[in-house]
Amino acid sequence: MQFNQAQVHPGGFVHDMDEATLHHAQQAAARQLGLNAHFTDTLRSDGAAGPEMAVIPAGWFEMGSPSHEPGHEPSEAPQRYVQLSRAFAMGRYTITAEEWLRFRAATGWSQARELIQAHGREPVVNIRMADALLFIAWLNSETGQLYRLPSEAEWEYAARAGTHTPFHYGDYASCRDVLFKPMFPFPEKTKKRRSFFPQCAPMMWAMEVGTKPANLWGLHDMHGNVWEMTASSWQSDHQQAPSDGHSLPGRGSNDRIVVKGGSWFDPATAARSAARRSRLRDELDVNLGFRVVREI
């Protein structure tokens, strides 16, 4: 497989590329667009920096998981080749409480007092998808750019960063790399569980963003911490998933969305790149947040 510099994207599947070529693809895509590989937009009202973004180069990948992958579920099948036909930018972190506070101050958005709230650099939680879309509309007006929620395919492609293993780290997940419920490590074997308990402190809340190492493209916390909303309506499997990864499924549940990434409250298997769950469109929870995509 050859990297096509003229189009600034891989001429084949990104999991066929080595790390140096994948890194080069990101850098080349950013240069052609006049951006740094990692960048921020400026908010008009006060000159503050918007969310930190990473350029994700175009390419192909295999979405879903094989039946022999530990934790595999029928909803992750069949595996499908999906194309991301253009570069896009994705938030390096989930939106944080401090970013949300700026939005609240600017718009007067209010939250029920009885709901548990995140603080500082913790991921914002206990918000509905409609609230996330209000934040994005405000961000668009502040920057003059087009931000949105990622599609399921965009999220998985960016999370994998050229890998086809369960995690972008490889075949296994440890507490050093992923924030998950320590009673349920990966893989789920009794002899493995014993070795995880001394290393994994039980968590009752999400960690600050960026605590865990980033993937090759500079995205943090794609595995664990909090579930992340996507713009994709829930479908029971990938049978009807569009081959264009930027598109949203034409059919699916109107009241349920796909969430990705797992959380501090869930087994490590839920944090795999291919893992997916169904959540109500108007659901809020202490382990559910979001990150943004920006058109470039």
DSSP letter, residue 24: H
Q: Is the separation of the CB atoms in 166 and 73 below 8 Å?
A: no
Cα 246 to Cα 219: distance, rounded to the nearest angstrom: 19
Extended beta strands in the chain, E state: 3-4, 9-10, 38-39, 53-56, 59-63, 80-84, 88-91, 147-148, 227-233, 256-260, 276-280, 288-289, 293-295
Greater confidence (246 vs 204) lies with: 246
pLDDT 10s digits, 207-221 = 999 999 999 999 999
pTM above 0.85, yes or no: yes
Q: What is the DSSP string of 32-53?
A: HTT--SEE-PBPTTT--B---E
Of 130, 168, 125, the closest CA to residue 274 belongs to 168
Q: Is the separation of the CB atoms in 183 and 193 below 8 Å?
A: yes
DSSP-derived pairing of the beta strands 227-233 and 288-289: parallel
What percent of the chain is predicted at pLDDT more than 90? 72
Least confident residue range of 43-47, 134-138, 286-290: 43-47
List of residues 6+ apart from 239 with CB closer than 8 A: 78
CATH code of domain 3-295 = 3.90.1580.10
pLDDT 10s digits, 133-174 = 999 999 999 999 999 999 999 999 999 999 999 999 999 888
In this predicted structure, what is the pLDDT of residue 4?
A: 38
In this predicted structure, what is the pLDDT of residue 94?
A: 98
Of 147, 152, 146, 149, the closest CA to residue 245 belongs to 152
In this predicted structure, what is the pLDDT of residue 185?
A: 78
In this predicted structure, what is the pLDDT of residue 62?
A: 96
Name beta bridge partners: 279. 257
Q: Which residue has the tokens 């598109």?
A: 247
Q: Is the separation of the CB atoms in 185 and 170 below 8 Å?
A: no
DSSP-derived pairing of the beta strands 80-84 and 59-63: antiparallel
Cα 244 to Cα 153: distance, rounded to the nearest angstrom: 9
Q: Count Cβ atoms below 10 Å from residue 204 Cβ, excluding itself.
A: 7
DSSP letter, residue 175: T
Q: What is the DSSP string of 272-285?
A: STT-EEEEETT---
